[in-house]
Structure 1
């Protein structure tokens, strides 16, 4: 099983960061998602909710199912629905926000476990960390530092 991980520090509080990302249906903060919504009238904090997210101007939607959500612990866990948008299987992803007492900041970590061909472990673990999560959290930092 492959594991991918990325973390960063935000100058905002954990509550400020969580307020933006807590709703699983609101995913445009990543900067790469042009549209996102929850299927079937469920809320974006309801376990079992399925998010449809469209990347940029493509016509392809990625579907993801919310497996766990906690406002108390500021995290959610989700999985990719079939068909997977990547050549991986059994992908479970967690996004977590933790307070940093020193400076009243936030520590944000995004991680996943998944199966793929062993020869592709390095590619996909690096891809998710550097090409997906680092860029998405960079967009979130920009959004929080330059409110509309």
Structure 2
């Protein structure tokens, strides 16, 4: 089992950042790797069980299902249903925690998954850097207070 964890302090309130990420269909608005996204079957993007179908900038197609959403804890959990990555059992969460000094927040994105035995570490690197780190950096660039 592989485990990936990336965190970043963002100089914006936890509520501001949570409002940007809690929309399960909103990743194209802040993540540079996501080209488009739609929620299947007309469900609401904050309904637990909804499935987002999206394309990456390179044309790859993925489907993910929202399994938990908590406004009280500013946390969402989701699983991958279909992906070009050689992963199984992919379970991820994204949580936004308030930082008491300065009204900033800590964004924590993590996942656990299995990769094929012949994977050379490329999948872990892709999730760590191409998905989580790139996403949190873009989120910070979009939402941080100037100065």
* TM-score, normalization by structure 1: 0.90
Of the structure 1 ranges 47-56 and 6-15, higher mean CA displacement relative to structure 2 is found in: 47-56
Cα RMSD after superposing both structures: 1.8
Q: Is the 8 A contact 1:99 1:105 kept in 2?
A: yes
Aligned equivalent of 1:39:
40
| Displacement of 1:146 | 8.1
Aligned equivalent of 1:63:
63
Aligned equivalent of 2:24:
24
Aligned equivalent of 1:104:
103
Q: Where does structure 1 differ by over 6 angstroms across 4 or more consecutive aligned residues? A: none
Provide the aligned length of Structure 1 versus Structure 2.
145
Question: Residues 67-99 of structure 1, C-alpha deviation per residue, up to 9 Å, x if partnerless?
Answer: 1011110011111113x3201101001011000
Aligned equivalent of 2:5:
5
| Displacement of 1:50 | 0.2
- Quote the Cα distance in structure 1 between the aligned partners of 2:69 and 2:79: 13
Secondary structure of the residue aligned to 1:66 is: strand
Question: Residues 7-62 of structure 1, C-alpha deviation per residue, up to 9 Å, x if partnerless?
Answer: 0000001001001111101111101112111111111111110001111262x321
Aligned equivalent of 2:122:
123
Q: Is the 8 A contact 2:10 2:144 kept in 1?
A: no
Q: Is the 8 A contact 1:96 1:110 kept in 2?
A: yes
Distance 1:99 1:20, change over 3 A: same
